Amino acid sequence: MFGNYLIGLREGLEASLVVCILIAYLVKTDRRDKLPPVWSGVAAAVVLSMAFGAVLQFGSSQLTFEAQEALGGTLSIVSVALVTWMVFWMRRTARHLKAELHGKLDAAVAMGALALVTTSFLAVGREGLETALFIWSAVQATDDGYNPVIGAALGLLTSVVLGWLFYRGALKINLARFFTWTGAMLVVVAAGVLAYGVHDLQEAGWLGGLHDLAFDISSTIPKDSWYGTLLKGVFNFQPDPTVLQVVVWALYLVPTLAVFFGLFGARPPKPVASKTGSAKPAA
């Protein structure tokens, strides 16, 4: 449940921040008459995201076992790719997101109501579709009934409350730091989803090595134990992974985290003082 709560919180907070920025800007610029089209676009994006999730869930249940595994594995890989891109993109643009949205909103206001609906729909819809796909993939990976869905719903609800508090000015946090650490945790969750997606493709017969286990510690960490369930729910941990799963997990997790922290943790060089006491940039 915690892993999916984190997904719902992280993804939902991005959408909440986007809505807060759009609404606050219109209110502060005394353009409240433009709020209904913005809310209409937000509502349409939410409905589309829910419909997309429903199609994934109920549409896949009508397929054969092999087809379900192939679909689940493929969409898991796609969702990991989208979330990885989103994590890097959000971390890079978090500081400039407000100004970017203000510019788009000004252009939309000049074009009319339909442009406002489209702007808010696209801004929230992208986050909603990514969230629906990643949560569905994570739910398939954990295979733990409704608990993952409950966790994701609680995360989304928390993000709505936080978004409202941001709007009211009652809560101020370092968003750059928040998106850095939650992004890193999402990379860890995504690595587990990716490994499970590979396992689905192996069961579908698309990839080999289904019976080549890297290790088997099921007797030490039973799948039905509370700690086995906890590890699977948070990290998508599997006590008997195949060799291919372990290799793919490591090849994704280690380089991605290294690039993530290396890219955003580096600081520009400090100016070097010259002999005359003036500072000049380092070569």
272 within domain boundaries: no
Better-predicted residue by pLDDT, 97 or 218 = 218
Say if 185 falls within a structural domain. yes
Average pLDDT of the chain is 78
The verdict on residue 280 lying in a domain is no
What pLDDT score was predicted for residue 250? 95
Residue 277, domain member (yes or no):
no
Q: What is the mean pLDDT of residues 72-86?
A: 84
> Is residue 20 in a domain?
yes
Q: Does residue 77 register a pLDDT over 70?
A: yes
How many structural domains are present in the chain?
1
Q: What is the pLDDT of residue 14?
A: 74
Q: Let me know if residue 275 belongs to a domain.
A: no
- Is 217 in contact with 246 (CB distance < 8 Å)? no
Report how far residue 12's alpha carbon sits from residue 163's, in angstroms, rounded to the nearest whole number: 9
Residue 258 within a domain: yes
- Determine the pLDDT at residue 123: 75
Least confident of 28-37, 92-101, 187-196, 248-257: 92-101
Mean pLDDT, residues 55-74: 81
* Residue 233 pLDDT: 62
Q: Which domain holds residue 132?
A: 2-267
> What is the reported pLDDT for 38?
86
Look up residue 257 and give its two tokens.
């985290």
Between CA 250 and CA 192 the distance in angstroms is 10
The closest alpha carbon to 197, from 84, 94, 283, 80, belongs to 80
- Mean pLDDT, range 116-139, rounded to an integer: 78
* 273 found inside a domain: no
